[in-house]
Structure 1
Amino acid sequence: MRILCCYLVFFSLNLMACHQKEAVYDPQKDIEYCIAQAKKTLMSLPIDTPNIPRNITDASGKWKLVNYKDWTSGFWPGILWYAYQASGDDSLKYAADRCSRELIPLSQEPAIDHDLGFQVFSSFGNGYRLTKDTSYKQIILASADTLATLFNPHVGTILSWPRAVPNMEWPQHNTIIDNMINLELLFWASKNGGDSRLYDIAVSHAEKTMKNHFRPDYTAYHAVVYDRETGEKIKGITHQGYSDGSMWARGQAWAIYGYTMCYRETGKQEFLDFAEKVAKVYLDRLPDDLVPYWDFDDPAVPNAPRDASAAAVTASALLELSGLVNNQGKAAFYYRKAADMLASLSTSYQSGEANTAFLKHVTGHKPNNSEVDASINYADYYYLEALLRLKNSTVE
């Protein structure tokens, strides 16, 4: 009997240790941290515009404020919507509504670039999802129509920057990998009262980008320039990465997120297969803490800046991918990787007392020496999104 009891105790202790080792990181305390930080930021903002916090780049801890035209303008109201979702706090709902409504002109004015998805779907899209306010729906639909005006049928993609940008050979047609995220606005609109053509535009853009935007190893160019009349590819280049041939971390993250979303919206197997391929090359080259250097091919690695935003975007994408793949082993792998990324961000990359952002060590545009080793609102947005996805998801 004594031997049996000892065996049972030993077995139980080993079983407990095994469960502890395999336990997935619990995001709840970090969700609460984000809510607290968002409330601190909210209290510091002026009522008058510009009042949308974009970045913190120095030790002062002060946010640079922008207005609705900035490409990042939707992330702050999106953060507030996520904070409301997590907390049920009506004061956050009120603030999210007020901040979202500052972006209404985007649905009424001609498109100045492709970022309407980032701006409008992060703000009003989340707002409609949580409240079903019909006024939000009309703003989303109008913004989708505006984004569609940038589609070039000769090329098959949406024009990203309708203006002269260095090395883009204006007035030729340019498309950047970031634009994959904006397709969700078109997919949603096509299924919620908008023109069915919006769906076709989104699919065309994704297919054309899949064909021309990637090297044989599935790493992404930041930008591709097309002949605006014939649709022929002129060149693949970078704008924010280290070089034309390098893997810019956030660009690759946009690709992982974008093709995962495209599969969810279309059910097209080629998009799922491609999402896995662009994820693999990213995951295979990550450093031990799973937070990438701003560009995987910067010769300064391991002394190059990190980009916590790329980690946050990828973690969120992998959590969705884990729920879409029809393979239990793959699902568990993506789920674990995402959880470990979030655990790493939460352990070593939170801003803490330094400022009221969620994360530090974000790199925006290093070749331009802009927002290097900073806190930036889109990193916070995707971090909180990923935390909520982890909280609300399971894997067998």
Structure 2
Amino acid sequence: MKSRLISKGYWNFKKELMLLFKILFLCIILCFIGCKEKSNKEIVTSNRSLEAFNLNKYINDCKSQLEISVPKLTDLSKHPRLIETDSIEWKEVPNDRLVWTSGFYPGILWYMYNITKEEKWKREAIKRTEVFEDFKTITEHHDIGFMMFPAYGNGYEIGGKKEYKDILITSANSLASRFNPNVGTIKSWSNKMHPRWQQHITIIDNMLNLELLFWAAKNGGDKSLYNIAVTHAETTMKNHFRPDYTSWHVLEYDTITGKVLNKHTKQGYADNSRWSRGQAWGIYGYTMVYRETRDKKFLDFAQKITDKYLSLLPEDMVPAWDFDVQNNPKEEKDASAAAIVASALLDLSTFVKNKVDQERYYQAALKMIKSLGSDKYSAVGKADSFLLHSTGAKSLGHEIDVALIYADYYYIEALSRLKNLYKNQ
């Protein structure tokens, strides 16, 4: 009897010991997995912290460039537009109602204030913004969005200038007056700008102006502004892109029936070529439309046209001015397209649900910013801008391999967005 009890106790002890070993083994496995996950997380964090160090350099480069250029730009009736090849200082153009680039310089100053919180940039931004309040009534073209939102929109959002609200709403109403419900888009150009065509003309660039409408609709403007923006985006998505998700530049619609009459790429290499900045406008535009609507069809489309753009890029992530001439090393680059897409990708990376896509878009944006901030494209020590090597309209014979004010605007917007991402992490 005693031996059976001893034997039973032995087997119970053995079972408990085996159970203990199993538990210990399981703990070791879980600990290993946890350490591996923690290690991977630390690698990502470490990489992003390293990028933050580089980010400070890019920001400081922009700051030093503004400290050089701002004292030179004292004529409030003009704004900097471009720096010609082999020149150093900005060529200024009048703040005319027909000149679409006037809002970018004050927008740059607002972003520098947002990044640094230095009051001198806010004072300069206010001074440069408020000189064209009368532009709020522009109905001659669609560029009022480009002209007013980088200046007054950033002034409201970044600078806390609540008195800009009515100016922005009036501007949005002026833009909306060009909407043709028969077509479903805002008319971009007058027919004088495109004499070949006589009816309703819409260009891909117009996608960026929709942000003004969305903003106004949610800040006291008429709700119809939201519907106009959505309809324009839907119509453009349907007609402005080829089956391979590359973009046409210009479409002519029948004013009465809305039928597509012609497709053209005025600023590209050929009528049917793939103008790189046109694709960039589309990527930025549809990313922004998703942000404002949260309609998944716009996010899906933004990803499709983004993936096409990324597949066409050269190693340095800065495209030629047209993808159809990219294999020719003598063709000029367009840093403005890279800056636009870099800014858009940082936004897009926060919207997609798939972790792989999140990181893919984020890393692509970082590579673009690194390239733009490198000696190859940076203007530091060479000219007064942030960036060199943009191309405005080679097919029209102007702004070829120059610095452009809107390239600088979207570059500093990308830096501001990246800094906000680090802060949120």
TM over 0.5: yes
* Selected match of 2:119 from 90, 103, 107: 90
- d(CA) in 2 for partners of 1:299 and 1:197? 42
Aligned 8 A contact 2:76 2:128 in 1: no
Range moving further from structure 2, 128-137 or 354-363: 128-137
Aligned 8 A contact 1:25 1:343 in 2: no
Percent of residue pairs bearing the same amino acid type: 47
Letter in 1 for 2:123: Y
Alignment-derived partner of residue 5 in structure 2: none
- d(CA) in 2 for partners of 1:188 and 1:162? 25
**Partner-residue secondary structure (3-state), 2:92:** strand
- d(CA) in 2 for partners of 1:86 and 1:134? 20
- d(CA) in 2 for partners of 1:167 and 1:104? 31
* Selected match of 1:385 from 393, 410, 413: 413
**Partner-residue secondary structure (3-state), 1:224:** strand
Alignment-derived partner of residue 251 in structure 1: 278
* Selected match of 1:60 from 87, 90, 93: 87
The reply on whether 1:25 has 2:51 as its aligned counterpart is: yes
* Selected match of 2:106 from 72, 77, 89: 77
TM-score under structure 1 length normalisation: 0.92
- d(CA) in 2 for partners of 1:194 and 1:367? 39
Question: 1:176-187 maps to which residues of 2 (within 5 A)?
Answer: 176-187=203-214
Alignment-derived partner of residue 282 in structure 1: 309
Aligned 8 A contact 1:308 1:363 in 2: yes
Alignment-derived partner of residue 4 in structure 1: none
Letter in 1 for 2:265: T
Alignment-derived partner of residue 402 in structure 2: 374
Task: Find the structure with the greater CA-based Rg.
Answer: 2
> Given the superposition, is the C-alpha separation of residues 183 and 303 from structure 1 closer, same or farther in structure 2, using an over 3 Å criterion?
same
* Selected match of 1:174 from 201, 206, 224: 201
> Given the superposition, is the C-alpha separation of residues 101 and 168 from structure 1 closer, same or farther in structure 2, using an over 3 Å criterion?
farther
Deviations 1:243-269 (A, max 9, x none): 122111110000000000000100111
Aligned 8 A contact 2:110 2:159 in 1: no
Letter in 2 for 1:286: L
Unaligned runs of 5+ in 2: 1-35
Deviations 1:67-90 (A, max 9, x none): 333100000000000011111111
**Partner-residue secondary structure (3-state), 1:179:** helix
The reply on whether 1:125 has 2:153 as its aligned counterpart is: yes
Question: 1:1-396 maps to which residues of 2 (within 5 A)?
Answer: 22-23=47-48, 25-26=51-52, 27-50=55-78, 52-69=79-96, 70-107=99-136, 109-166=137-194, 168-170=196-198, 172-298=199-325, 301-347=328-374, 348-393=376-421
- d(CA) in 1 for partners of 2:340 and 2:90? 22
Moved over 6 A (4+): 17-21
**Partner-residue secondary structure (3-state), 1:380:** helix
Q: CA deviation at 1:300?
A: 6.1
**Partner-residue secondary structure (3-state), 1:55:** strand
- d(CA) in 1 for partners of 2:115 and 2:193? 40
Q: CA deviation at 1:131?
A: 2.7
Deviations 1:114-160 (A, max 9, x none): 11111111000000002332221111111000001111111010000
- d(CA) in 2 for partners of 1:300 and 1:316? 25
- Aligned-CA RMSD value: 2.1
Letter in 2 for 1:252: Q
Alignment-derived partner of residue 7 in structure 1: none
Q: CA deviation at 1:334?
A: 0.4
- d(CA) in 2 for partners of 1:388 and 1:318? 13
Letter in 1 for 2:51: Y
Letter in 2 for 1:25: E
TM-score under structure 2 length normalisation: 0.86
- d(CA) in 2 for partners of 1:179 and 1:260? 14
Q: CA deviation at 1:181?
A: 0.4
- d(CA) in 2 for partners of 1:216 and 1:351? 38
Q: CA deviation at 1:167?
A: 5.6
Letter in 2 for 1:38: L
Matched pairs, number: 381
